[in-house]
């Protein structure tokens, strides 16, 4: 991201996920001054969640010793789909009942400062570029490997947007035409082979309880588990090949619970492919782990209103 305009600027970053919400006080240097988490409890209603978020914003300002009137703004990252232009959350899929919910207007009215909303994958990438593994690099692509596969590109310091302002769906890159069916309508996307959901489903067919057990058994050398993980890593390497040839990012950042815990496994496969690439300068691109963990969301959300 571009350097903040004021070195002493202060903002609130909010990260809304399916089960938890985090609210943090962040300054322009990327320092976290206070952070609280609370259960999302989406099913209790959107209005109630906004009330609880407002209370959490006031609480972190108090913990940080910041008067709310001095804030540069409040940035919000939310599990998508979201409509950043309208400030709407359109995600009844993982946030029960939250469809066409305007979060920007009530928060702006309450605190009287600029408020911005973005997709959580975009916000995590902004966070890594603001204060983590992407700082000082451009362009940057981040893949978040967790329950699903999220992706975002930061180009010339800004979130890359496609038609209608929507962000690229890198989780649905096709990597194996004979792969499992995906909910997106295709077969063999990254999402259907690399996500925790996909690895868990393939593992259950072989008697493993969940994705974590598959990765553990693969590390122990069990052939059935290794076959699942090998397929996932080759799928990710194929997807990374496409990403490198499309965006030519200086850095591809792997984040999310699976991307961070098993970075070595995935990075080795991606690097082996990159070593064979002929269409760009060797060493000009690299794959690195995310550096901020669970803080990428709140730091990136704050960076939205600090620039």
151 vs 297, which CB is nearer to Zn ion? 151
Please choose, out of 18-26, 80-88, 128-136, 185-193, the segment that lies near Zn ion by the rule CB under 5 A: 185-193
Of residues 140-179, which lie at the interface with Zn ion (CB under 5 A)? 172
For residue 183, the minimal CB distance to Zn ion (Å) is 7
115 vs 189, which CB is nearer to Zn ion? 189
CB 19 within 8 A of CB 39: yes
Applying CB under 5 A, the site for Zn ion has a residue count of: 6
For residue 189, the minimal CB distance to Zn ion (Å) is 3
133 vs 238, which CB is nearer to Zn ion? 238
For residue 177, the minimal CB distance to Zn ion (Å) is 12
For residue 66, the minimal CB distance to Zn ion (Å) is 42
Please choose, out of 23-31, 184-192, 201-209, 274-282, the segment that lies near Zn ion by the rule CB under 5 A: 184-192
Residues paired with 251 in a beta bridge: 140, 286
126 vs 202, which CB is nearer to Zn ion? 202
**Other beta carbons within 10 Å of 233:** 21
> What secondary structure letter does DSSP report for 168?
P
149 vs 270, which CB is nearer to Zn ion? 149
Please choose, out of 149-157, 183-191, 194-202, 239-247, the segment that lies near Zn ion by the rule CB under 5 A: 183-191
For residue 150, the minimal CB distance to Zn ion (Å) is 12
Q: Does 189 bind Zn ion (CB under 5 A)?
A: yes
84 vs 188, which CB is nearer to Zn ion? 188
Q: Kindly tell me which residue out of 15, 118, 122, 191 binds Zn ion, with binding defined by CB under 5 A.
A: 191
40 vs 192, which CB is nearer to Zn ion? 192
184 vs 272, which CB is nearer to Zn ion? 184
What is the per-residue DSSP string for 84-108? TTTTEE--TTTSTT-SSEE-HHHHH
**3-state SS record for 135-156:** CCCCCEEEEEECCCEEEEEEEC
The dihedral built from the CA positions of residue 141, 156, 35 and 80, taken in this order, carries a sign that is negative
Helix (H) / strand (E) element for 286: namely strand 286-289
For residue 249, the minimal CB distance to Zn ion (Å) is 21
23 vs 145, which CB is nearer to Zn ion? 145
Of residues 265-284, which lie at the interface with Zn ion (CB under 5 A)? none
Cα separation, 219 vs 129, in Å, equals: 32
Q: Kindly tell me which residue out of 184, 209, 272, 277 binds Zn ion, with binding defined by CB under 5 A.
A: 184
For residue 80, the minimal CB distance to Zn ion (Å) is 15
At 283, give phi and psi (nearest 5°). 85, -10
Listed in sequence order, the residues at least 6 apart from 53 whose beta carbon sits closer than 8 Å to its beta carbon are 14, 21, 23, 107
CB 145 within 8 A of CB 194: yes
Q: Does 188 bind Zn ion (CB under 5 A)?
A: no
The dihedral built from the CA positions of residue 201, 205, 210 and 213, taken in this order, carries a sign that is negative
What is the per-residue DSSP string for 36-90? EEEE--GGG-HHHHHHHHHHHHHHHHHHHT--GGG-SEEEEEESSPEETTTTEE-
Q: Does 182 bind Zn ion (CB under 5 A)?
A: yes
Listed in sequence order, the residues at least 6 apart from 58 whose beta carbon sits closer than 8 Å to its beta carbon are 68
Q: Which chain residues interact with Zn ion by CB under 5 A?
A: 172, 182, 184, 186, 189, 191
């Amino acid at each position: 991201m571009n350097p903040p305009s004021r070195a002493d600027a202060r903002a609130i970053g909010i990260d809304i996920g399916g089960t938890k919400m985090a609210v943090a006080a962040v300054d322009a240097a990327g320092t976290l001054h206070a952070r609280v988490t609370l259960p999302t409890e989406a099913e209790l209603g959107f209005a109630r969640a906004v009330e609880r978020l407002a209370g959490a914003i006031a609480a972190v300002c108090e913990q940080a010793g910041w008067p709310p009137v001095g804030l540069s703004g409040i940035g919000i990252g939310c599990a998508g789909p979201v409509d950043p232009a309208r400030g709407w959350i359109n995600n009844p899929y993982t946030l029960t009942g939250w469809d066409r919910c305007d979060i920007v207007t009530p928060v702006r009215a309450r605190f009287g400062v600029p408020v911005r909303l973005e997709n959580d994958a975009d916000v995590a990438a902004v966070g890594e570029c603001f204060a983590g593994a992407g700082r000082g690099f451009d362009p940057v692509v981040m893949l978040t490997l967790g329950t699903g596969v999220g992706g975002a590109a930061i180009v010339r310091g800004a979130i890359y947007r496609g038609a209608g302002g929507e962000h690229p769906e890198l989780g649905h890159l096709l990597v194996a035409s004979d792969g499992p069916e995906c909910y997106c309508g295709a077969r063999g996307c990254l999402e259907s082979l690399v996500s925790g959901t996909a690895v868990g489903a393939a593992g259950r067919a072989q008697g493993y309880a969940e994705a974590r057990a598959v990765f553990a058994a693969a590390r122990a050398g069990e052939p059935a588990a290794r076959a699942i993980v090998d397929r996932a890593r080759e799928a990710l390497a194929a997807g990374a090949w496409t990403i490198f040839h499309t965006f030519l990012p200086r850095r591809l950042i792997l984040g999310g619970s699976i991307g961070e815990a098993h970075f070595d496994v995935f990075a080795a496969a991606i690097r082996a492919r990159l070593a064979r690439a002929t269409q760009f300068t060797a060493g000009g691109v690299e794959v690195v782990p995310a550096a901020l963990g669970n803080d990428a969301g709140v730091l990136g959300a704050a960076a939205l209103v600090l620039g």
